[in-house]
Amino acid sequence: MSQLFSPYQIGGLTLANRIVIAPMCQYSAENGQTTDWHTIHLGNLSHSGAGLLIIEATAVEPAGRISPQDVGLWDDGTEAALARTLKAVRSHSDMPIAIQLAHAGRKASVAQPWHGGGQLTLDTGGWETVAPSPVAFDGHARNPRALTTDDIARLCERFAEAARRSVRLGFAAIELHGAHGYLMHQFLSPLSNRREDDFGGSLENRMRFPLAAFEAVKAVVPAGYPVGVRLSATDWVPGGWDLEQTLAFSQALKARGADFIHVSSGGNSGAQQIPLGPNYQVPFARAVKQATGLPTIAVGLITEAEQAEAIVGTGDADLVGIARGILYDPRWPWHAAAQLGATVKVPNQYLRSQPRQFKTLFG
């Protein structure tokens, strides 16, 4: 029996298989509100046969968006828009859908990638960014404003309020975005956190805000409701965030009730040197799993069915995250199930598409 297509439990959530659609920004919202694009995009992914779909980084306040076109969840309007999108998707799919709550910090206020992704000026739709310290991200002309302790407390409440809205919307789980150089990662890494107060300096201090935000979210969700964190295991820069610190942070999250860790890397510095290749981040997921015993999601150039099966089957990780690969092949789980002799659930309207050589594929 395929391990990739075996059920898995995260908190009170049961997944049909170990394939997770990782969050992918679409830069297509209007004033933080999802649009028809998101209905089409998420509806398509909801018929892929994956075990869990995590929607894109969703900002907890307007200044936390990466671009002006990012999705948000900070008021009744953004909540209502997500409700409309989810209603349409759920009317034709019972795939569990999770949300990634995020704040971009110093990496905010940029143009959509297809428009270059550069920092927007204040007169072209940009805004003042915030960060642990007034240190600009590589290539940005404006320094961010350093957050005060009052700002930090306010942001924890922003995360909590977005979590309340997420539960009300019926999301199956919440993932906090602590990776890829965004605000939580900025606090964790000594490359971006130069503070000299209780939120900077030592590892304990640099972890303080991300852990406080996690605790704020955990405090407002029901018992058994899965809350996890996506993190970058390393900055890939000497003197930056690294695996040893990641393990300490993961253990601190476990002590506070984390239900899973989604293990990525990089994104906080233009000086990063990443040795790209298949499975290049899987050893980080394995280390986190071994150190904490928490369910882990491995990501990064996982493109083949046998590759994903081996990651789960050998215990390197409990689940695999597929992102760009599933945009390229929206039926990736179907094809993986066919290769591995497993079954996958599809809409009734697609049952007749089952190839003759895979007579038991659509179970």
pLDDT tens track for 258-292: 999 999 999 999 999 999 999 999 999 999 999 99
Average pLDDT of the chain? 97
Residue 86 pLDDT more than 90? yes
Domain presence at residue 327: yes
Return the pLDDT at 92.
97
Domain presence at residue 360: no
Q: Which pTM value belongs to this model?
A: 0.97
- CB-neighbour burial class of residue 355 (10 A; exposed 0-12, middle 13-18, buried 19+): exposed
- CB-neighbour burial class of residue 65 (10 A; exposed 0-12, middle 13-18, buried 19+): buried
- Tell me the CATH number at 169: 3.20.20.70
Structure tokens at 313: 């089957």
Residue 108 pLDDT more than 90? yes
Catalytic (active-site) positions: 182
Domain presence at residue 3: no
Domain presence at residue 232: yes
Return the pLDDT at 363.
83
Residue 22 pLDDT more than 90? yes
For the residues 84-92, what does the mean pLDDT come to? Answer: 98
Residue 29 pLDDT more than 90? yes
Closest of 106, 104, 101 to residue 229, by C-alpha = 101
For the residues 53-68, what does the mean pLDDT come to? Answer: 98
Structural domain tally of the chain?
1
DSSP 218-239: HTTSPTT--EEEEEES--SSTT
- Which residue matches tokens 């969050």? 23
pLDDT above 70 covers a percentage of the chain that reads 100
For the residues 184-189, what does the mean pLDDT come to? Answer: 98
Domain presence at residue 221: yes
Domain presence at residue 116: yes
Return the pLDDT at 302.
97
Domain presence at residue 361: no
Cα–Cα distance measured from residue 151 to residue 130, given in angstroms and rounded to the nearest whole number:
10
Which residues constitute the domain of residue 78? 8-353
Domain presence at residue 363: no
Q: Across-strand partners of 33?
A: 30
Q: What is the CA radius of gyration of the chain?
A: 20
Largest Cα–Cα distance in the chain?
A: 66
Amino acid at site 96: P
Torsions phi, psi for 98 (to 5 deg): -110, 170
